Structure 1
């Protein structure tokens, strides 16, 4: 029996997995390390792998820090690890791309940054988590379908918040949602800056129909629903959110996936967990199709549109040739349930309706050939 090596690459000091942050469980953030989700994918693939007399050896490869990551990546390359599942910040993803070259297939599990699918893309790099652009397109499609107009945007001070604003602005222009105004919030221990996080002051303007909060950190967004000055729905980083997965999804085999993950990990499945699970399923799908192919061959097959995976979201999922992003529906949800699924009915595309979410081929800045 042939065996391929799979490494889940992450950082010990990743702030997303700090004990305090996991305890607070901000909406849309990881609920825990992704190893259990990858293991669930391997368990699900047992029959398919046995059919091709193949096995997968999973390695939990953690670097102490971003500075220590190049050494770990060099070791993975030396050990001929063929599949790298990257649970890394965008800088770490780029380090992995540079280190792997054409010797490994890389799947980005948890960085939604559009630049990784654009100017910083790579032929060997695929993405299973929806991008910022996909998430904002999904949200704005829902708002447009409901004729919810005149958004009052609250933006955080970080560089990641600026990326969220850029994705929001693009989607709002695309689907005709008006931005009534933009205010910047700031969480601070300085009494002189207390008003910068005062939800009533920040939302005092009356000329808006909803509040969009763009908060990559999550701490401010958690305080906003039902705390606005005007009685307005909250969307974005809390309230109505675009998500890769929701544990209350009740169709297409979703309950079975969520139930098995909860049994294995002892917690609800998040979008990042789903991303890790589907990445492993994509690895298995390409192995079944081409058991003896090189990493380059697997990347070409996946980006060639010939291989599909079942993500328990309805349609068969495939990767885009131009940027390596996994096409997929996106949930519109709140804490207790799913209220919609994008693309919404009536949204059209010349070839593939799932490509209405995110950067389409004609817009893509990615120049890496598959």
Structure 2
């Protein structure tokens, strides 16, 4: 559909909505959170907020109510917290008895276990916390949408920038935790995809206090990497990466989990009206909006947009609309977001940021695609191992 026809279609839909008498419907949403034990890290400078994710959903709820209030749409949000070790499947069944719309703050196997519950077959589940490529691949489920970008999408965004900069010689430091290894693999696979090569890598296995030893240990550790243009760091726990920049043996830029970071969202994103969302979130939560907050916000806003456009709350009708070419979500990233029909992943630009600035936003110019340039980030349809959506 051309841009002009799409604009006409959206304008016509808006007029039809305005002319339709308000029909009172309820749209209850449950934010299901599994509490997890966090492994120890070298620094406690950035503790995770207790309302991580939930705060984003709450801001999205307020946005939905702004439009829904004029149309008789009653949005509610409930949080269900599952303590460490408790039965997540049982909690999910109880949540599904109250709502067919769940935002999942759970990990890996728990996402698929919830999706496979009989009560979930007619529900809409939104994965707002797990970036695993497998959940968008061989472990995909037709009732699960992913509003958090995959590791593959983030890695592809970074590699597009590296190719643009012509940094051909790469080195890598990876941590030992599962998240570190997954991020390291994503960056390594993406480097291969874009014709780049990581020439040497090392594993970070220090357990000493780097606040005192970084200036001595890091230069020696990185000296063995030889010459390189850019040092990639895989540290998803935000454990040691903060001590790498400015302490390397060679004066080289750092990227990955520190330095230049590909991310879902950051406080430094201010263009495309994003400053307005940042301000509203900060007013609500008294902190900066984080990637998981944005993913939860996008999840509940997806429900709100679909309900507004279809005028109903039937999960099947909403799913069909969300996967159609008519669905678009204005989400403060410079272009409307949509969902991939082959694995349920939300298409979205990926900001490349430092602590204080937006450096670039992928997809970068020159990376073309027959459908949309957003599909240059992550697993494209021909390479997808997701069979459920077929």
- Which of these residues, 334, 357, 364, is aligned with residue 377 of structure 2? 357
Give aligned pairs, total: 361
Alignment of 1:121-160 (within 5 A): 121-160=140-179
Residue number in structure 2 paired with 1:323: 343
Unpaired runs of at least 5, structure 1? none
Deviation of 1:36 after TM superposition, in Å, equals 1.8
- Which of these residues, 139, 145, 148, is aligned with residue 120 of structure 1? 139
Q: SS of 1:244's equivalent? A: coil
With normalisation by structure 1, the TM-score equals 0.91
Residue number in structure 2 paired with 1:105: 124
Change (3 A) 1:200 1:22: closer
Q: Deviations over 1:201-260 (max 9, x none)?
A: 231133211110011222111111111111010100111000111112221110010011
Residue number in structure 1 paired with 2:31: 8
Deviation of 1:134 after TM superposition, in Å, equals 0.2
Q: SS of 1:258's equivalent? A: helix
In structure 2, what is the Cα distance between the partners aligned to 1:23 and 1:263? Answer: 25
Residue number in structure 2 paired with 1:25: 46
Report the aligned-residue RMSD.
Answer: 2.3
- Which of these residues, 287, 296, 308, is aligned with residue 307 of structure 2? 287
Cα pair 1:305 1:320 within 8 Å, conserved? no
Change (3 A) 1:171 1:13: closer
Q: Deviations over 1:7-44 (max 9, x none)?
A: 0010234539x9x9995327xx7784222211111111
Deviation of 1:140 after TM superposition, in Å, equals 0.6
- Which of these residues, 60, 77, 80, is aligned with residue 41 of structure 1? 60
Deviation of 1:293 after TM superposition, in Å, equals 4.9
Deviation of 1:77 after TM superposition, in Å, equals 2.2
Cα pair 2:26 2:313 within 8 Å, conserved? no
Deviation of 1:285 after TM superposition, in Å, equals 0.9
In structure 1, what is the Cα distance between the partners aligned to 2:246 and 2:306? Answer: 47
Larger Rg: 2
2:105 pairs with 1:87: yes
Cα pair 2:27 2:313 within 8 Å, conserved? no
Unpaired runs of at least 5, structure 2? 1-23
Change (3 A) 1:243 1:21: farther
In structure 1, what is the Cα distance between the partners aligned to 2:50 and 2:107? Answer: 16
With normalisation by structure 2, the TM-score equals 0.87
Deviation of 1:169 after TM superposition, in Å, equals 1.8
In structure 1, what is the Cα distance between the partners aligned to 2:115 and 2:232? Answer: 34
In structure 2, what is the Cα distance between the partners aligned to 1:277 and 1:36? Answer: 8
Deviation of 1:163 after TM superposition, in Å, equals 1.6
